[in-house]
Amino acid sequence: MEINENLQNERNLKGTEFEKNGNLEKAIELYEENVAEGFKGNHPYDRLATIYKNENDLENEIRVLEKAIVVYEIITIEDRLEGLPKLFRFKNRLEKALETKKQLAKQKKAKLK
């Protein structure tokens, strides 16, 4: 599959517009398309992770962060060292999301007792 970077960039711009106008569903749809295509930039991953976090959708937040890490590991291997700080940032965010998931599981388990 050939990736059209102009189309991906346009999706990011439109996604940002949709967010500003309060249409998160449409923004999510556009960002998810870029994530599915392995967009080589942080925008759709950052935005989706934030949207999902704000919506308490931990599973999707984790999924998007894991995908971002895979993409940024490839970017870094390709000698784009500017990707390294973003890779570490995504790993840190994933660690926090996984910790939140663990805490929520503990709370749920404690309530069942």
pTM greater than the 0.85 cutoff: yes
Residue 34 has pLDDT above 90, yes or no: yes
State the maximum Cα–Cα separation within the chain, in Å, rounded to a whole number. Answer: 54
Q: What are phi and psi of 56, to 5 degrees?
A: 55, 35
pLDDT at 2 (0 to 100):
72
Contacts of 1 by beta carbon, 8 Å cutoff, 6+ apart: 37
Architecture of domain 5-112: Alpha Horseshoe (1.25)
Q: How high does pLDDT run on average in the chain?
A: 93
Long-range contacts of residues 48-56, Cβ cutoff 8 Å, at least 24 apart = 49/93, 49/97, 51/19, 51/24, 51/27, 53/97, 55/24
Give mean pLDDT, residues 22-47.
97
> Looking at 7-11, 28-32, 106-110, which range is the least confident one?
106-110
Residue 1 has pLDDT above 70, yes or no: no
